[in-house]
Amino acid sequence: MMNLIRKLSSKNFFIFNLVLLGTLFGFVLAFLSFSRAKGGGQAQAQAGQTAPIPQDALSTAERLQTAFRAISEKVLPSVVELKTVSIRRQQVPNFNGIPWEFFFGDPNEGNGREREFRSQGLGSGIIVRKIEGGGKGAAVYYVLTNHHVVGDANEISVALNDGAEYAAELVGKDERKDLAMVSFQCPDNLPLAVLGDSDAVMVGDWAIAIGNPLGFMSSMTMGIVSAVGRTGGPAGNINDFIQTDTSINQGNSGGALVNIRGEVIGINTWIASSSGGGSVGLGFAIPINNAKRSIDEFINKGEISYGWLGVSLTDPDKDVTAALSLTGKRGAMVSQMFLGSPAERGGIQPGDFITGLNGKEVRGVNHLTLMVGDLKPGEQVTFQVIRDGAQRDLRVRIEARNNDVAAENSKLWPGVYVVPVTDSIRETLKLDSKVEGLYVGQVIARTPAAVVGLQRQDIITAVNGEKVKDLASFYKVMREKAGKELWFDVKRGDSVLETPKYKR
């Protein structure tokens, strides 16, 4: 028994010593690891301290930083915050003669018939002009902004970079260009924004946005110009836009987009966003050259006047460009012409493809609309057009745009949009492969085409008795044969018919 106890005691003592030895060995390893880590960290820290920033790189960065500081000092005082209040009056409902306020609000408020509602708006603007002669020695300052910033506001105020605030009044606005101008009086000598040349802007240029995003006054963000000549802005807007990845948010509208010299190259206007209105790097600004003439017109006349050519323009699709040998060409196609317009008197006809104005390239419909709109009434200009595959120059004397005349469909010639008969159209209408002509895509109400009874999905096979099998022959016959009279031969379903004659 004693021998057994001695054996167990010896075994326990051995296990105890083994555990103790393992514990001591673990502490030693942990200490050595800690020491190495500490030493390595110190070595890394010492290495970091001995790796200075290259002086040439630091100098370049500091010079760029100095430039941005100078831009902020130069531009911020000329960019203001615009606060608006729109007031609308609404009929207050009543129930069996008991006014709404009796249930929801002060029963003594109003008379139970009408109530005033006030909504506030916020945007930015750019001080572009100063005219002496305001009241009490103050000067009148003019602020350029967006039409959608001021809208139908009843009250407008301007807040300066230093926090001072002044009452402002609307000078003029124009929805087509999304531009507006307000004025305010101030006794101080305020700096004016320096307007640059947006035609010289190129993709990759620095772009700095200055304004009041989300109400944060005098904010400055930076990026580059992502694209120029962008179209597809808010409905009815005819501008071609500068695209930038500079952070632009609500409240930036009407503010300045400036270049590295602190010159205004654009007016921040809208953003494309999939996040409910937040910036995702797709901001758009109206090129400042689109607005320069508008400044004087707002101040002198309170509105923008437009030159008028008297045509309806389209950007032709690939089937049309291929049919007219225009593939790869830039410009705008004349689809309709107003009778008695400057275009008709100058020799421009439906089917002409306008590629230039006074030698300057036309990039598309919006671009040409802007170019013509900026022409002065009475000005004689030269359009470069492609007709029947050949380039020619046509001289036209521009007139002032009359919105009533421009909306009068009865003078729009011929009033029909036609496209080549494609395989898909043949399949849809179950047309025989031998049928040739033009597919009627749209007939404009009250125009000559509508008066003679053309209908959508008709196939035009002849104009004034002259057979037409493609777009080129259609427009050629329209120019040469359709003078004082106009009629069509059409295939409509299983019928072939001749329309009545339209006489001018």
Report if residue 61 sits inside a domain.
no
Given 301, 322, 348, the domain boundary residue is 301
Q: What is the mean pLDDT of the chain?
A: 87
Answer whether residue 181 is part of any domain: yes
Calpha distance 327→1 (Å, rounded): 111
Same structural domain for residues 209 and 139? no
- The H or E element spanning position 167 is strand 165-174
Q: Select from 409, 431, 464 the last residue of a domain.
A: 409
* Residue 334 shares a structural domain with residue 402: yes
Residue 351 is assigned to a structural domain of this protein: yes
Confidence of residue 113 (pLDDT cuts 50, 70, 90): low
Of 409, 443, 470, which residue sits at a domain end?
A: 409
Tens-digit pLDDT profile for residues 293-311? 999 999 999 999 999 999 9
Average pLDDT estimate for 449-453: 96
Could you list the residue range(s) of the whole structural domain that residue 159 is in? 75-94+112-186
**Lowest-confidence range among 31-35, 61-65, 367-371, 485-489?**
31-35
User: What is the residue whose two structure tokens read 């323009």?
Assistant: 313
What's the mean pLDDT in 342-350?
A: 97
Residues 144 and 166 in one domain: yes
Average pLDDT over residues 203-207: 97
Residues 371 and 427 in one domain: no
If one counts the domains in the chain, the total is: 4
pLDDT at 87 over 60: yes
Distance CA 363, CA 382 (A): 16
Per-residue pLDDT of 370-416, as tens digits, reads 899 989 899 999 999 999 999 999 999 999 988 777 678 899 999 99
Residues 121 and 148 in one domain: yes
Annotated catalytic sites, by residue? 148, 178, 253
CB atoms under 10 Å from CB of 200, counted, come to 11
The DSSP result for 49-67, as a single string, is HT-PPPHHHHHHHHHHHHH
What CATH number has the domain bearing residue 488? 2.30.42.60
Q: Are residues 226 and 294 in the same domain?
A: yes
**What pLDDT, on the 0 to 100 scale, is given for residue 134?**
81
pLDDT (0 to 100) of residue 102: 57
Task: Give the CATH number, domain containing residue 374.
Answer: 2.30.42.10
Model pLDDT, residue 346: 97
Token pair 């694209």 is at which residue?
A: 227
Q: Would 26 be classed as within a structural domain? A: no
CB 354 within 8 A of CB 385: yes
The answer to whether residues 161 and 79 belong to one domain is yes
Whether residue 208 sits in one domain with residue 281: yes
Yes or no: say if 322 and 470 are a contact pair by the CB < 8 Å rule.
Answer: no
> 297 and 313 share a domain?
no
SS3 472: helix
pLDDT at 84: 96
pLDDT at 14: 47
Residue 280 within a domain: yes
* The residue type at 185: Q
What's the confidence (pLDDT) of residue 89? 81
- Residue 289 within a domain: yes
Q: From CA 490, how far away is CA 315, in angstroms rounded?
A: 26
Query: Does residue 27 lie within any of the structural domains?
Result: no
Most confident residue range from 103-112, 122-131, 422-431? 122-131
Quick one: pLDDT at residue 95? 57
Q: What is the pLDDT of residues 134-154, one digit of tens each?
A: 888 899 999 999 999 999 999
pLDDT for residue 449: 97
What confidence tier does 236 reach under pLDDT thresholds 50, 70, 90? Answer: confident
Q: Looking at the structure, do residues 251 and 236 belong to the same domain, yes or no?
A: yes
Q: What is the mean pLDDT of residues 458-486?
A: 94
The mean per-residue pLDDT over the stretch 186-215 comes to 96
* CATH number of the structural domain spanning residue 256: 2.40.10.10
Say how far apart CA 6 and CA 198 lie, in whole Å.
102
β-bridge mates for residue 243, sequence order: 227, 284
Token pair 């001072």 is found at: 164
Residue 32 in domain: no
What are the tens digits of pLDDT across the range 491-502? 999 899 999 999
Question: Residue 162 is encoded by which pair of tokens?
Answer: 């230093």
124-136, pLDDT tens digit by residue? 999 999 999 888 8
